[in-house]
C-alpha cells in the first residue's frame, strides 16, 4: 500500500495529516495511507501545553507581515486561500467563517471565543478540545497514528517517482511516496535529511530576557502595566539589521509612530533615543524576575532583542512626557502646600510601588531618603518614562515558546512548501524558519503551513498515480 509520511505529530503534523487525507479521499485514492509518525508515545502533546493549557490556537487578525520571512508566509497564506476555495472546508465556508484556518476548525467541530487582542481560545477553555477534534477528524479520514516512531534519517528516492526511505531509531524503515517534515525546530537537527537540505541550529525566542540582576532583584515578582521599548545602542548596526529584515523594519516604523514626539527624535521615519535606535514597542504587563524581565510584552520584544540592546520601561504609560511633567508638577505643589518637606520615598508614595519608585529615583540620580524638590520632578519623570534594563540575552530557553531557525525558506516553494531540490519532500510549522509574536500567531502558522504541505503532498501522489 502506498503512503504519505508526516514526520511529527504536533500542530503542523496533525493539520497536514488531515489535509492530506481529505485530498486523497476527494481523489478516490483509498489505496494511499497517511501515516502520522510521532517520536512521543502520543500525538499532540505540545498542543496541550500551549496557552497555559487553554490553547490560544489562532488570532482573529493574522497578516503575513506579523511573521519573520513575511513574503514567504504571504505566499503560503495565499495558497491556503486556494485550498479553501477548492472545497477544503465546506462547512466552515457555509457558516460564513472567513479565515481558512478557522474554517478548518469549524469543519472539525470546534467552537471558540475571542478574547483580548484577538486571541482565539476553544469554547471549552481546554487545549484538549482542540486536540480531540483534530484526532477525531484524522481518525474519520483513516489517518494512521504511529507513535514512539522517531525518524533519524530520510533518503530521497533512488529513481524518479520512486519512494523515499524514512529510517527510524528502532531500525524500521518506511517507504512513502511523499514526506512532510513537521517536527519542531529543536528536533530538526536530529533527522538527517537528503542533501542539500540542512536544518539550521535553532535559537529560542518568545521568552524572558536576562538583564542586570542588580536592577531587577529588588523588583522580583512585581507586575507592572507599562509600555516597553527595545533600543539598539549601535545605531549603524541597527540600521543594517533593519535594511535586511522586513519584519524588523515594520516593527521599528510602527514603534516610532506609536511613540511619536515622546521618545527621542525622528530620523528617516525611525526614532533615535538616548539608548539608540528604537526597534520595537509593546504595551502590556511586565513581570520583573530576579534574573530579568518576563511577561507577554517582553516575550514579543525578545524576537528582535540581542545582547547589548536596552529595554526601556515606561512606568507611567497613560501619560505622554509633557502631560506627565505637568501632572506631576501639580502633584508636587499639592503635597507641599501645607509646608511639608518631601523625601524621595515620600514623593513616590501613592504613585508607584516602593521598589519601583526607588529604582526610578536611582536612575534619575536622586535619593530615596534625601529631600525631593520641585526641580527634581523633570528628572524623575524622564526616568519613570524610560527605566533602563540592559539586555544580556534570553533568560531561560525552557520558558521560550518558539525555536527559531529550522530549514531555510529559500529551499522551498511557498505555494506548496515542497523542497525545490527534493521533489516529494515538504515541510511545515516550526521545521521552517518562520515565527510570529505571542497571541496565537505561531499555532496559526503551524495549522496553515501544515494544511498547505499536506494537501500538496497528497495532490502530488495523486498526480503521479494518474501518470503511471
Q: For strand 276-289 and strand 32-38, is the pairing parallel, antiparallel, or unpaired?
A: unpaired
pLDDT band of 264, cuts 50, 70, 90 = confident
| 322 DSSP assignment | H
Per-residue pLDDT at 200 = 78
Taking CB atoms within 8 Å and a gap of at least 24, the contacts of 243-252 are: 246/65, 246/70, 246/71, 247/65, 247/67, 247/68, 247/69, 247/70, 248/279, 248/280, 248/304, 250/65, 250/70, 251/279, 251/280, 251/304, 252/277, 252/278, 252/279, 252/280
Backbone angles phi, psi at 285, to 5 degrees: -100, 130
Distance CA 56, CA 127 (A): 8
Residue 419 pLDDT level (bands cut at 50, 70, 90): very high
Q: Which residue has the cell 488531515?
A: 18
Query: Residue 47 has what pLDDT?
Result: 94
Count of CB atoms situated within 10 Å of the CB of 96: 8
Mode of pairing for the β-strands spanning 209-210 and 292-294? antiparallel
- In whole numbers, what is the pLDDT of the chain averaged over residues? 94
For residue 227, the cross-strand partners are 283, 314
More confident residue, 85 or 30: 30
pLDDT of residue 85: 85
- What is the model's pLDDT at position 88? 66
Q: Is the predicted pLDDT of residue 468 greater than 80, yes or no?
A: no
Residue pointed to by grid coordinates 486536540: 131
Give the closest residue to 23 by CA, choosing from 416, 431, 456.
Answer: 456
CA-to-CA distance for 364 and 38, rounded, in angstroms? 55
Percent of the chain with pLDDT over 90: 83
**How confident is the model over 154-162, as a mean pLDDT?**
92
Instruction: List the one residue out of 309, 291, 105 whose CA is nearest residue 212.
Output: 291
* Distance from C-alpha of 330 to C-alpha of 390, rounded to nearest angstrom: 32
**Grid coordinates given for 204:** 529560542
Cis peptide before 398 (omega within 30 of 0): no
Give the mean pLDDT of 277-284.
Answer: 96
pTM of the model: 0.92
Tell me which of 86 and 300 has the higher pLDDT.
300
pLDDT at residue 261, as a whole number: 76
374-274-437-93 Cα dihedral, nearest 10 degrees: 80
Rounded distance, CA 359 to CA 248, Å?
30
- Which segments of the chain belong to CATH 3.50.50.60? 2-204+402-467
Q: Is residue 349's pLDDT more than 70?
A: yes
The pLDDT, as a whole number, for residue 115 is 96
DSSP annotation of 352 reads: S
Q: Which residues contact 180 (CB under 8 A, 6 or more apart)?
A: 4, 5, 6, 7, 13, 16, 20, 426, 427, 428, 450, 453, 454, 457
pLDDT score of 93:
62
CATH class of the domain comprising 2-204+402-467: alpha beta
Q: What is the pLDDT of residues 135-149, one digit of tens each?
A: 999 999 999 999 999
Residue pLDDT, tens place only, 171-191 = 999 999 999 999 986 677 789
Comparison of pLDDT for 51 and 154, the residue scoring more: 154
> Cell match 515565527: residue?
435
In this prediction, residues 54-82 reach a mean pLDDT of 95
What is the predicted pLDDT for the residue at 127?
A: 97
The whole-number average pLDDT for the span 265-271 is: 84
Residue matched to cell numbers 480531540: 132
- Burial call 124-156: b when 16+ CB within 10 Å, e when fewer: bebbebbbbbbbebbeebebebbeebbbeebeb
Tell me if residue 234 falls in helix, strand or coil: coil
Output the 3-class SS for 104-139: HHHHHCCCEEECHHHEEEECCCCHHHHHHHHHHHHH
Relative to beta strand 199-205, strand 310-314 is unpaired
319 near 183, Cβ under 8 Å? Answer: no
What single string gives the DSSP state of each residue in 43-69? Answer: TTHHHHTGGGGT---EESS--GGGSTT
Where does the pLDDT of residue 49 fall: very low under 50, low under 70, confident under 90, or very high at 90 and above? confident
What does the pLDDT read at residue 267? 82
pLDDT tens, residue by residue, 86-125: 876 666 666 678 899 999 999 999 999 999 999 999 999 9
pLDDT digits (tens, 9 = 90+) for 208-239: 999 999 999 999 999 999 999 999 999 999 99
Q: Say which residues have a Cβ less than 8 Å from residue 321's Cβ, sequence separation at least 6.
A: 262, 381, 382, 385
Yes or no: say if 131 and 138 are a contact pair by the CB < 8 Å rule: no
Q: How confident is the model at residue 397 (pLDDT cuts 50, 70, 90)?
A: confident
Q: How confident is the model at residue 338 (pLDDT cuts 50, 70, 90)?
A: confident
Q: Give me the DSSP letters along 418-436.
A: BBSSSTTEEE-GGGBS---
**Dihedral angle sign, alpha carbons of residues 61, 63, 68, 72:** positive
Residues 14 and 81: their CA atoms lie apart, in Å, by: 19
Per-residue pLDDT, 227: 96
User: Would you mind telling me the total number of residues written for the chain in this entry?
Assistant: 468
Q: How much of the chain is helix, strand and coil, in % rounded to 5?
A: 45, 25, 35
Amino acid at each position: 500500500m502506498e503512503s504519505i509520511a508526516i514526520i511529527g505529530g504536533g500542530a503542523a503534523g496533525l493539520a497536514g495529516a488531515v489535509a492530506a487525507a481529505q485530498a486523497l479521499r476527494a481523489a478516490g485514492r483509498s489505496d494511499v495511507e497517511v501515516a502520522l509518525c510521532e517520536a512521543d508515545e502520543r500525538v499532540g502533546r505540545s498542543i496541550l501545553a500551549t496557552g497555559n493549557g487553554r490553547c490560544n490556537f489562532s488570532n482573529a487578525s493574522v497578516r503575513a507581515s506579523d511573521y519573520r520571512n513575511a513574503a514567504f508566509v504571504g505566499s503560503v497564506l495565499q495558497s491556503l486561500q486556494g485550498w479553501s476555495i477548492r472545497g477544503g472546508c465546506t462547512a466552515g465556508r457555509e457558516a460564513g467563517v472567513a479565515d481558512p484556518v478557522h474554517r478548518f476548525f469549524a469543519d472539525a467541530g470546534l467552537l471558540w471565543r475571542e478574547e483580548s487582542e484577538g486571541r482565539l481560545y476553544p469554547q471549552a477553555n481546554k487545549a484538549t478540545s482542540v486536540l480531540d477534534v483534530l484526532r477525531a477528524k484524522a481518525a474519520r479520514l483513516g489517518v494512521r497514528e504511529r507513535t514512539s516512531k522517531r525518524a533519524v534519517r530520510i533518503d530521497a528516492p533512488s529513481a524518479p517517482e520512486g519512494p523515499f526511505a524514512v529510517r527510524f531509531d528502532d531500525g524500521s524503515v518506511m517507504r512513502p511516496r511523499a514526506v512532510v517534515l513537521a517536527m519542531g525546530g529543536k528536533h530538526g537537527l536530529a533527522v538527517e535529511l537528503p542533501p542539500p537540505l540542512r536544518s539550521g541550529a535553532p535559537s529560542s525566542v518568545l521568552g524572558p530576557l536576562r538583564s542586570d540582576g542588580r536592577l531587577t532583584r529588588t523588583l522580583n515578582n512585581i507586575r507592572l502595566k507599562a509600555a516597553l521599548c527595545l533600543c539598539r545602542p549601535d545605531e549603524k548596526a541597527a540600521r543594517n539589521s533593519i535594511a535586511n529584515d522586513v519584519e524588523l523594519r515594520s516593527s521599528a516604523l510602527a514603534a516610532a509612530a506609536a511613540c511619536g514626539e515622546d521618545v527621542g527624535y525622528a530620523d528617516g521615519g525611525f526614532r533615535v533615543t538616548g539608548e539608540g535606535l528604537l526597534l520595537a514597542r509593546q504595551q502590556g504587563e511586565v513581570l520583573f524576575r530576579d534574573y530579568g524581565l518576563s511577561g507577554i510584552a517582553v516575550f514579543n520584544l525578545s524576537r528582535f532583542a540581542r545582547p547589548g540592546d536596552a529595554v526601556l520601561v515606561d512606568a507611567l504609560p497613560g501619560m505622554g512626557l509633557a502631560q506627565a511633567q505637568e501632572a506631576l508638577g501639580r502633584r508636587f505643589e499639592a503635597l507641599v502646600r501645607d509646608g511639608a518637606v518631601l523625601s524621595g520615598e515620600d514623593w513616590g508614595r501613592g504613585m508607584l510601588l516602593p521598589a519601583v519608585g526607588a529604582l526610578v529615583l536611582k536612575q534619575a540620580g536622586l535619593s530615596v531618603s534625601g529631600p525631593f524638590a520641585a526641580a527634581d520632578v523633570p528628572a524623575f519623570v524622564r526616568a519613570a518614562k524610560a527605566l533602563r534594563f540592559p539586555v544580556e540575552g534570553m533568560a531561560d530557553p525552557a520558558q521560550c515558546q518558539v525555536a527559531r531557525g529550522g530549514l531555510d525558506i529559500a529551499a522551498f516553494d511557498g505555494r506548496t512548501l515542497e523542497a525545490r531540490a527534493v521533489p516529494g519532500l515538504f515541510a511545515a510549522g516550526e521545521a521552517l524558519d518562520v515565527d510570529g509574536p505571542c497571541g496565537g500567531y505561531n499555532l496559526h502558522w503551524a495549522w496553515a503551513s501544515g494544511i498547505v504541505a499536506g494537501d500538496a503532498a497528497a495532490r502530488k501522489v495523486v498526480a503521479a498515480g494518474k501518470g503511471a
